[in-house]
Each structure stands twice: as structure tokens, then as C-alpha cells.
Chains A and B, each alone.
Chain A
Amino acid sequence: QQPVQSPQAVILREGEDAVINCSSSKALYSVHWYRQKHGEAPVFLMILLKGGEQKGHDKISASFNEKKQQSSLYLTASQLSYSGTYFCGTAVHKAAGNKLTFGGGTRVLVKP
């Protein structure tokens, strides 16, 4: 079953913050975050594993709440380059062939 992402779209001014949520009805092993710009391939941002670890990459960080089966991606002090569609991909088992089910995506537009 596809995880649910919210919001579906967000418009930011450069320097503003945003949070993207990804919720699953199933128990998760890992959550993967990707960003896809128009006409390009999805680019890996980070993985969060069962255990609730928070990760960061530059000014983009994420958390995974195992109890709620929810992950959040935090865009801090957004830059123009952050524009794109963000997808979360969820895996329910470690050894299930790295089978990811992607959420519907969140379109992010950062304006100057």
C-alpha cells in the first residue's frame, strides 16, 4: 500500500523552512527520501532505518517515528536548488529485495 505524503505541494521563499510528511499504515523497516527535478532522475537524499534515527544532509534532515510509522523531511533555510518533487519510498522488510513503495510526491517550489 502506498505511503501518504503531505502536503501535496508547497511554495517557499528562499530562506524559509518546510516539513514534508510521509505516513504508512504498515510497520516499516526503512524510509528512503528522493528528490526529482523536472525531466531528471530521482536523486537519493537519505535513508532512515528502524530505530528512529534522525539524519541530516546539509540543511535537509529527516526523522523516522517508528511508533507512528511516519517520517518527516525538514527543509531548512531553503535554497532555489531545493525545488523539485520529493518522494518517500518505504520498505517493510530488510530482505524483501529492497522493494520500495513510493508516496505520491510533494512538489516544492522555492522562489527568490
Chain B
Amino acid sequence: DTEVTQTPKHLVMGMTNKKSLKCEQHMGHRAMYWYKQKAKKPPELMFVYSYEKLSINESVPSRFSPECPNSSLLNLHLHALQPEDSALYLCASSQFGLADYEQYFGPGTRLTVT
């Protein structure tokens, strides 16, 4: 099973709301990632977790708060977002956090901030 699942599929939120995105994988992968993708642009790395510890934060604003409760789950907590944060948020995982390993992407959560 090479599946990464993400919920919800779509999310509309106001600028004062708090919401969370969820990502799950059952492949035993020890590295998990959050990417942001705007229309017709490549994915941009936001965060990397390796062995449930945050290893990379690409200078993401604090209104995005990642969490890795266990090796299978990755959350992205959202608070006080701006309309420019509207995008497709992709989760990915790889066996290890090394550049020899392919990343498997989930279908994404399409976020609209109003």
C-alpha cells in the first residue's frame, strides 16, 4: 500500500478561523513533509519531519503550525490565515529523510481563505 491520505479534500475558512489539515500514511515511512502548491506552480516545501521530529522549517509564518503526533500522522494547524495562503496543501512521505528516497504524495487539501 503506497497511499498517503489527506483530509479534508476541500476547506474554506475565514481569516479568524482555526482549522487543521490531516495527513496519514501506513507505509512505515519515517519522514513526512508539507508542501504548498499554487496554481500552475511547483510544490514548495514548508516543513519536514524525520522520526517525528521537526527537521526543516522553510521560514514558514507562525500562522502555520505543524504537528507529528506519531509516525503515521502529520497535522497542519492553521490560524489567522491570509487570502494569499489559499493553495493546494500537499502532504508527502518517504522511507527516510534522505535524498535517495522517493516521496509519495497525498491528493492534497484545497484551501480557500476568505
Contact of A42 with B43 at beta-carbon distance under 8 Å, contacts A98-B97, A99-B48 already known: yes
A105 to B37, CA, bound (A): 12
Output the least CB separation between A95 and chain B (Å): 6
Q: Which residues from chain A contact B44 at a C-beta distance below 8 Å?
A: 102
Contact of A47 with B102 at beta-carbon distance under 8 Å, contacts A41-B108, A97-B56, A97-B97 already known: yes
Measured as residues with beta carbon below 8 angstroms from the partner, the interface class of chain A is 20 to 34
Contact of A29 with B99 at beta-carbon distance under 8 Å, contacts A42-B43, A97-B56, A105-B42 already known: yes
The B-contacting residues of A in range 11-53, CB under 8 angstroms, are 29-30, 32, 34, 40-44, 47, 49
Q: Mark B87-114, 1 if CB is under 8 A from A, else 0.
A: 0001000101111111111111000000
B45 touches A47 (CB 8 A): no
Q: Which residues from chain B contact A2 at a C-beta distance below 8 Å?
A: 42
Taking CB as reference atom, which chain B residue is nearest A45? B102
B31 lies within 8 A of chain A by Cβ: yes
Binds B, one of A61-69, A70-78, A86-94: A86-94
B55 lies within 8 A of chain A by Cβ: yes
Listed from nearest, the 9 A-B pairs whose CB atoms lie closest are A102-B42, A91-B99, A41-B105, A44-B102, A97-B48, A30-B99, A97-B56, A97-B55, A97-B97
Q: How many contacts A-B (CB < 8 Å)?
A: 70
B43 touches A95 (CB 8 A): no
Q: Which residues from chain B contact A44 at a C-beta distance below 8 Å?
A: 102-105
Contact of A87 with B31 at beta-carbon distance under 8 Å, contacts A43-B105, A98-B48 already known: no
B50 lies within 8 A of chain A by Cβ: yes
A98 touches B43 (CB 8 A): no
B43 touches A102 (CB 8 A): yes
Output the least CB separation between A27 and chain B (Å): 13
B105 touches A98 (CB 8 A): no
